[in-house]
């Protein structure tokens, strides 16, 4: 996905210019930016990265509420104790 820095909308990678305001679109090296996770959260930006995963700023697609979403590292997500820790957080 590419993002327009003027209107903050996301567009497919084959777009180079924003169809809304004709601004050049910018791609992201982070594969989650612009994607929808868990069916309803669009990832907007990365907040931080730690030992268990990465925290992103996201927006709920239907409620229009901004939230933080933590994406676990694959090595952590398979471990039951790590998943219990995340649920407690």
Q: What is the pLDDT of residue 73?
A: 84
Please say if the pLDDT value at position 82 is more than 80: no
CB 71 within 8 A of CB 57: no
CB 56 within 8 A of CB 47: yes
Query: Strand order of the sheet with strand 2-4?
Result: 10-11, 2-4, 25-27
pLDDT tens-digit profile of 7-65? 888 898 899 999 999 999 998 888 899 899 999 999 999 999 988 889 999 999 999 99
- Rounded distance, CA 64 to CA 41, Å? 10
- Rounded distance, CA 38 to CA 5, Å? 25
Phi, psi angles (nearest 5°) of residue 65: -110, 140
- Beta strand pairing call for 25-27 and 36-37: unpaired
State the pTM of this model: 0.74
């Amino acid at each position: 996905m590419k993002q327009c820095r003027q209107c903050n909308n996301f567009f497919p990678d084959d777009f180079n210019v924003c169809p809304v305001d004709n601004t050049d679109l910018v791609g992201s090296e982070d594969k989650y930016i612009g994607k929808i996770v868990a069916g309803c959260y669009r990832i907007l930006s990365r907040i931080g990265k730690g030992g268990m995963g990465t925290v992103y700023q996201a927006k709920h697609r239907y409620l229009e509420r901004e939230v933080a979403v933590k994406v676990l590292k694959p090595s952590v997500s398979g471990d039951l104790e790590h998943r219990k820790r995340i649920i407690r957080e």
